Amino acid sequence: MSKRLCIIGLDCLTPQFLFGPWLAEMPHLRGLMDGGIHGNLVSTIPPITVPAWMAMMTSQDPGMLGIYGFRNRASHGYEDTFTVNATHVKAKTVWNHLSRNRLRSIVMGVPLTYPPRPLRGVMVCDFLTPGKDVVWTSPPELASRLDDWAGGEYIIDVRDFRNERKRETLDQIYRMTNARFQAFRRLLSLEDWDFAMMVEMGPDRLHHAFWRYADPAHRLYRPGNEFEDVIHRYYVHLDGQVGRVLQELPKDVSVIVVSDHGAQAMHGAVCINEWLIARGLLTLKRYPEGPTRLKADMIDWSRTRVWSEGGYYARIFLNVEGREPDGRIPAGELAAFKRDLKSELENLTDEAGRNIGTRVFLPEEVYRASNGTPPDMIVYLGNLDWRSAGMVGGRQIHVFENDTGPDDANHSQEGIFIWQGRGKPAAGAADRVSIYDVAPSILDYFGIATPGEMIGKVL
């Protein structure tokens, strides 16, 4: 019988929890670790769901993909942006290569697969699917069967997980997780497949909604709170779901469990555009009366050299003469300007004046290529201990309420990787695995040579 491989993707599953003391309560994941290799997975720069999963499945970095986050600049125009989807992914994925080699795939919930594109097999699209009134499966008729296979409702994503309705959110997360695993198991039993992969978003939603309740190091943690054990119990529940998938698989199927990045406590947010305003680098036509999201038409471009967008990291954009419509930084001064701004950003302090350890990355230094229109700088505020708040109007640099709703966790650079049936059983963790090594290793498992455009190595 030909080889088969099953991947269980768990978005944002984090090594400090999985590989920590809770592992003793997770016999199925522990068994997979004992039967192969495992360790931390080093994610993309930045460690964001989009583009991390697609970088994993193509072995191309964000610059090569030309995808730097959910929203990207389409050009150097101030308002020319787009929200990314599968049509923007030009690189070949693992299942594209498998299809060309007449191997069949099941692909469920992998980020950046909406709208569905042709493959040899079946596809259920990801959490960016706008709703069930569009074509979101391949073949299209598959969609009508998913609710039944899920045991009620196949949930594409949790609705509005940044809220104070914690019990409602927790219920949604469990229902989504259980439904996706149940539908995946049904597909495994009904379809003829060589490669099967699902991605569950539940861990990500749980971390963002409940981190403050579980982490004693979080500034809002209160011992004995009613949600203190929520993340712990969910990880144990996930182990049970993994175990049920394993029961569906023949013993000779190799299994990967992987996350795209990890999570960590978020201390607060730096209002990056307020910081730029204070330094005279960003000028507004009129300062708003209250906190509001920065929009291009609010900016006096004739007096602005830098602006930024918020998120789990900051994207810094420079207003360059001859590049942007009303550029103000002379091209000949650009290198020195970037050097000085990088130094200033790396010296950012908290509200008490302590350096927070910010890291600044330049696309031309960290990517093999910089396709599309990349940000000029990618900034990990406090090395991702702080998020970037893009709002203006609050007259504050440091804030401790998230500007997009309650959120207590940021993404961290390292996720998890387990591969049962690949390599010798490991008593301890393997060396760190690069996210770019996953795709070439999958192809090698099926006897397919690594394509020249892939940047990872075979594990």
Please tell me the predicted confidence (pLDDT) of residue 427: 42
Per the CB < 8 A criterion, the answer to whether 165 and 239 are in contact is no
Tell me the sheet residues that pair with 254: 5
- The answer on pLDDT for 1 being more than 70 is no
Q: Confirm whether 9 is domain-assigned.
A: yes
- The answer on pLDDT for 39 being more than 80 is yes
- Are residues 33 and 46 located together in one domain of the fold? yes
- The answer on pLDDT for 425 being more than 50 is no
Whichever domain contains 76, its CATH number is 3.40.720.10
CA 262 vs CA 37, 415, 418: distances in Å: 19, 4, 14
Q: Confirm whether 453 is domain-assigned.
A: no
Please state, rounded to an integer, the average pLDDT across all residues of the chain.
95
- Are residues 236 and 87 located together in one domain of the fold? yes
Q: What is the mean pLDDT of the segment spanning 220-230?
A: 94
Q: Confirm whether 237 is domain-assigned.
A: yes
The DSSP secondary-structure symbol of 35 reads T
Q: What is the mean pLDDT of the segment spanning 77-94?
A: 97
Can you give the pTM of this predicted structure? Answer: 0.96
Considering only residues 160 and 255, tell me which one the structure prediction assigns the higher pLDDT.
255
Q: Confirm whether 66 is domain-assigned.
A: yes
Per the CB < 8 A criterion, the answer to whether 97 and 64 are in contact is no
- Are residues 352 and 260 located together in one domain of the fold? no
Q: What is the identity of the amino acid at 289?
A: E
| H or E, element range at 185 | helix 166-190
Q: Domain of residue 343: give its range.
A: 268-406
- Are residues 88 and 223 located together in one domain of the fold? yes
- The answer on pLDDT for 429 being more than 70 is no
- Are residues 17 and 34 located together in one domain of the fold? yes
Q: Confirm whether 458 is domain-assigned.
A: no
Q: Confirm whether 459 is domain-assigned.
A: no
CA 283 vs CA 174, 299, 319: distances in Å: 46, 6, 12
What is the rounded CA–CA span in Å between residue 228 and residue 366? 38
- Are residues 75 and 211 located together in one domain of the fold? yes
Please tell me the predicted confidence (pLDDT) of residue 2: 81
- The answer on pLDDT for 311 being more than 70 is yes
Please tell me the predicted confidence (pLDDT) of residue 407: 81
Considering only residues 348 and 218, tell me which one the structure prediction assigns the higher pLDDT.
348
Per the CB < 8 A criterion, the answer to whether 412 and 386 are in contact is no
Q: How many domains are there within the chain?
A: 2
Q: Confirm whether 222 is domain-assigned.
A: yes
- Are residues 114 and 94 located together in one domain of the fold? yes
- The answer on pLDDT for 406 being more than 80 is no
- Are residues 209 and 329 located together in one domain of the fold? no
- Are residues 328 and 364 located together in one domain of the fold? yes
Q: Confirm whether 451 is domain-assigned.
A: no
What confidence category does residue 403 fall into, taking pLDDT thresholds of 50, 70 and 90?
low
Please tell me the predicted confidence (pLDDT) of residue 424: 53
pLDDT one-digit tens code per residue, 48-72:
999 999 999 999 999 999 999 999 9
CA 305 vs CA 149, 161, 381, 439: distances in Å: 54, 35, 20, 40
- Are residues 236 and 281 located together in one domain of the fold? no
What is the rounded CA–CA span in Å between residue 349 and residue 13? 29
- Are residues 273 and 254 located together in one domain of the fold? no
Q: What is the mean pLDDT of the segment spanning 212-225?
A: 92
Strands 36-42 and 433-434: parallel
Per the CB < 8 A criterion, the answer to whether 56 and 439 are in contact is yes
pLDDT one-digit tens code per residue, 321-379:
999 999 999 999 999 999 999 999 999 999 999 999 999 999 999 999 999 999 999 99
Tokens of 141: 């008729």
